[in-house]
Amino acid sequence: MGDSLLDQESVFIETTPMWRNPLVKFLIPFEVFINSAIIGLIAWKSPGTRVGLLSVWMLVCLGLPILMMLVRLKTDVSRAMLRVGFWPIPGWRIRTERIVGFEYRKIDPMNKLGGWGLKFKKDFGVVLNVVGEDHVIVTLDNGKKRTIGTCEPEALMDALRFVCDVQEDEETGAG
């Protein structure tokens, strides 16, 4: 029983909110302003539709920003499991014994990944990220890759070194 509790205890936990992304910080007020202007113009031209437009405005201009503020990428490393995901995407649950390598890479999300969120890329496998250029690429025993966006790359790498039985690659500083 004691060993299973140790296996479940987290060695590393990082929760990164999407609102820390500078693009999101810019787009949310811009989205609210533009949509308010469009809906306001329609309401001014068609006074009979104001009640319905108020509902649309609340959904688009209040609901979407609130939803964006709730999205958080959570990375949790325990002795037995690597868990990465953000609501509403369930993410991954990878047993640590399946990890055969990992490396830190600075990756431009706009040019190399096509932005933030859930992505499928040939060079990086399945990618989950919400902010920044810091990523840890995990290689699994079946050759597939999982790329994790992180604000704490060194701490994540240290946690993976601690829980995974992987030889350190001296050239890249990765496992």
Domain boundaries, the chain: 2-17+73-163, 18-70
Report pLDDT for 4. 55
3-class secondary-structure state, position 18: helix
pLDDT of residue 7: 56
Confirm whether pTM is higher than 0.75.
yes
> CA 71, CA 89: separation in Å to the nearest integer?
10
Top pLDDT among 82 and 2 is at: 82
Report the alpha-carbon distance of residue 163 to residue 80 in Å, rounded: 8
CATH topology of domain 2-17+73-163: PH-domain like (2.30.29)
pLDDT confidence tier of residue 175, bands split at 50, 70 and 90 = very low
Collect all residues with Cβ–Cβ distance below 8 Å to 65 and sequence separation of at least 6.
Answer: 28, 31, 32
Which has more confidence, 31 or 99? 99
Tokens, residue 125: 């496998």
Q: What is the mean pLDDT of the chain?
A: 87
Q: What's the pLDDT at 1?
A: 38
Burial status of residue 163 (CB atoms within 10 A of its CB: 0-12, 13-18, 19 or more): buried
pLDDT at site 168 = 54
| Predicted confidence (pLDDT) per residue in 145-168, tens digit | 999 999 999 999 999 999 998 765
